[in-house]
Amino acid sequence: MSTTMSPSTSELFDRYVVPNYRRFPVSLVRGEGSWVWDDAGRRYLDFFPGWGCNLLGHCPAPVVEAVQQQVAKLIHVPNTWHFESQGLWAKLLSERSFDGKAFFCNSGAEANEAAIKLVRLHTPKERYKIITFEGGFHGRTFGAVTATAQPKYHEDLGPMLPGFTYVPFGDLDAVRDAIDDQTAGIMVEPIQGEGGIRIPPAGFLQGLRQLADEHGLLLVFDEVQAGCGRTGEWFAYQNFGVTPDIMTLAKSLCGGIAGAAMLTTTEIAPSLRPGMHAATFGGNPIAARAGIATIEMIERDNLLARTKELGERFRSRLQPLVDELDYARELRVQGLMIGLELTVDATAVVGAAMEKGLLINCTQGNVVRLLPAMTLTDAETDEGCDILIDVLKNLN
C-alpha cells in the first residue's frame, strides 16, 4: 500500500503514540460529507466514515453549528447539576424508542458496562449470569470484552470475569439449554456488526424475548453499531418487532461527537441507584447538543427513508457479484449496514480500494463491511460501488 503521509507525522507517531492500532499510512486532515482529504491533498470516498460513527457524513453542518454554539457558552459540568439539553436529549430518545429513561456515558463499552451492572442490580443476588453470543462484540473494557464471545479478544488477558455464558448466534435451543437458576439476562446485538453484519434468522429475537419473559430474565440489545437510524429505523429492534428491557447506543448517536447512552424502562431504571455507576463526561453539554442536532437533522431531511433507499441501491449493485464471483459467498444488507462475505481473505480488498480512493473495512477476515453515511448521494453510491466491484473482480 502506498503512503502519502508526511515524514513528520510518521515520526511523531513512532516516537510518542502507543502502537496499539494498526494504522494506514495516511494522515487525514479534512472531511466533508462522504469525502475526506489527506495531508497530500488526495481525497477519498468514505464508505466507513468514523468507524460508522459519522452516520451523517463528515462535519454535518447542524451538528457543527450546535457544538460551536455550545462550546462558547458551557463546555462541561458534572452530573451533579441539571442542564436542560441533557433532559431534552433523553426525552427525544425515549419518545423514539420504548418510553424509558436514559443514562448517558461516552462510549459503547461504557454503555454496555452500565447494562451489565443494571442486569445484576435488578435481579436477585444469586442470579448474575448473562448469556451472550458467539461472534458478538460489546467493547474493550473488561466487562464488555468478557461479554464478547470471541476468543481473539480474550487472548493473554485471562482470567476473564465470571458470569458470562456463550452460545451460538441464532440458536434458540442453545439459549434455552444455557439458562439456569443463576441466569439474570441475555445480551445480544440485534444485528452483529463487527461479527460480519450478521442478520438474525427469522424468529430468533422473538424467541429470545419469549425465553426472557418465561424465565424472568432481562433482555439487553446492544445497538451500539446498529442503532440511531443506521438500519432505516430509529433502532434496529424496530425492524423485528421485539422490544428489549435495556438498550445501549453509541457510535452515531451524536453525529460523530463522542457520546453514548443506555436506555431502559421506567420500571427497571431505579435499580441503577445513586453511587452504583457514573460517567464523568457522560451526557455533557456538547454531546447533548450534538445528539439533539443529530436527531433533528435525521428527521428534517427524512434520512431514515433515505437510508432504506440507499441500502437497496447497494443491494442492487453488489448482489450480482454473488452470482458472478466464485469467492463471493453472501451479501447481507439492512439499511446501511452492509456486509459482503467472501470465501477468501478480504484484507487485500481494503488496501486495493484505498489505492483507488475508496475507504472500506474488512471484519472477521473475510467480510467486506460498509457503514456509509445517510447523506450519501446516488452518484457517490454508484462511484464507490464501481470501485469496489472493480477491485473484487480483479482480486488475485
Domains, the chain: 1-49 (no CATH), 61-301 (3.40.640.10)
d(CA 78, CA 182): 36
Cα–Cα distance, 361 to 380 (Å, whole number): 17
Could you tell me the end-to-end alpha-carbon distance of the chain, in angstroms, rounded to an integer? 15
The answer to the question of whether 194 is labelled as a binding residue is: no
Question: What per-residue confidence (pLDDT) applies to 1?
Answer: 56
Q: Confirm or deny that 47 is annotated as ligand binding.
A: no
Q: Is 347 exposed, middle or buried (0-12, 13-18, 19+ CB in 10 A)?
A: exposed
C-alpha span between 271 and 294 (Å, rounded): 29
Number of DSSP helices (H) and strands (E) in the chain, helices first: 11, 15
User: How far, in Å, CA of 157 to CA of 175, rounded?
Assistant: 26
Residue 280 marked in a binding site = yes
Mean pLDDT by 10 residues, the chain (396 residues): 72 94 94 96 97 97 98 96 98 98 98 98 97 98 97 96 98 98 98 98 98 98 98 98 98 98 98 94 98 98 98 98 96 98 96 97 97 98 98 92
Structure-block grid coordinates of residue 258: 463522542
* CA 47 – CA 57 distance, rounded (Å): 10
- The response to whether 224 counts as a known ligand-binding position is yes
Q: Which residues pair with 362 in a beta bridge?
A: 368
Q: Please tell me the predicted confidence (pLDDT) of residue 344.
A: 95
pLDDT score recorded for residue 3? 55
Please state, in angstroms and rounded to a whole number, the distance separating the CA atoms of residues 299 and 311. Answer: 18
282 is in an annotated binding site: no
Check residue 4 and give its pLDDT.
61
Alpha carbon distances (Å) from 141 to 102, 111, 129, 245: 21, 11, 18, 22
Q: How many CB atoms lie within 10 A of CB 54?
A: 28
Helix (H) / strand (E) containing 331? strand 328-334
137 appears as a binding residue in the annotation: yes
Q: 140 among the known binding-site residues?
A: yes
The three-state secondary structure class of 325 is: coil
> Which stretches does DSSP call E strand in 97-210?
101-105, 129-133, 164-167, 183-188
CA distance 170 to 218: 18
Determine the Cα–Cα distance for residues 120 and 128; give it in Å rounded to an integer.
5
